[in-house]
Amino acid sequence: MWELRSTANDWMTLNARFLILAAALVTVPAAPAMAADAPRQIDQGTSVGTFDASGSGQVTVRGQVTAFGRIDGSLVVRDLAGGAVVKLNGVAQRPKVVLTATGKVRVFTFLRVSKNFYVKGRNVRIALGSRAGRELSISAYGRGQVLRLGGNGTFAVNGGDVQSWLDGVLPIAIRPAKKSRTS
């Protein structure tokens, strides 16, 4: 009989491997056959930072990031630069344009959803909130910050050690790891 056990650490290790592959693909030049509307690469030719989290509660990330995962609760994406791509279960979503004191902001708001999500943008703020007793997961790469980790769960930055949300000192920078100099 097959028995499937999944731990947060196993999930983080798998996502870390996927993110390393995804980050490597970001630096590969686009093939001429790609569609003209293909999303632009994040910081072409440079490294990116990674962030993985899973648990129950709230997570907020902002910056020039590509993020994906699963939400059973609410997802709000504020697109401050314009041009962000937001998909739920692979289907592109349309934003609501909101006028603020500083100009127009595109806002994608989804309440009471249980779906996979994908977000890519130059200046986005992604807020996830799980329903009581439900889980969320997010993997992000690019450059930005984790602004909120509320509730119970685990996270890892740049493939580092898995930590409890309670141990996170905010904000947490999502950026390439500094290269060490050796003599």
- Residues 53-73 pLDDT 10s: 999 999 999 999 999 999 999
Asked if the structure places residue 181 within a domain, the reply is no
Asked if the structure places residue 159 within a domain, the reply is yes
Asked if the structure places residue 42 within a domain, the reply is no
Asked if the structure places residue 39 within a domain, the reply is no
Asked if the structure places residue 43 within a domain, the reply is no
Task: Give the mean pLDDT of the chain.
Answer: 80
Q: Is 36 exposed, middle or buried (0-12, 13-18, 19+ CB in 10 A)?
A: exposed
Asked if the structure places residue 79 within a domain, the reply is yes
Identify the pLDDT of residue 169.
80
Identify the pLDDT of residue 81.
93
Query: What is the C-alpha to C-alpha distance for residues 171 and 96, in angstroms, rounded to an integer?
Result: 28
- Parallel, antiparallel or unpaired: strands 172-174 and 96-100: unpaired
List the domain range (segments joined by +) for residue 61. 8-27+49-174
Asked if the structure places residue 65 within a domain, the reply is yes
Query: What is the C-alpha to C-alpha distance for residues 59 and 150, in angstroms, rounded to an integer?
Result: 7
Report yes or no: 80 and 107 within 8 Å, Cβ to Cβ.
no
Report yes or no: 52 and 131 within 8 Å, Cβ to Cβ.
no
Asked if the structure places residue 139 within a domain, the reply is yes
* 20 φ/ψ angles, rounded to the nearest 5 degrees: -65, -45
Identify the pLDDT of residue 57.
96
Higher pLDDT, 90 or 36: 90
Report yes or no: 125 and 81 within 8 Å, Cβ to Cβ.
no
Question: Whole-model pTM above 0.85?
Answer: no
Domains in the chain, number: 1
Q: What is the DSSP string of 53-88?
A: EEEEEEEEEEEEEEEEEEEEEEEEEEESSS--EEEE
pLDDT of 37 above 70: no
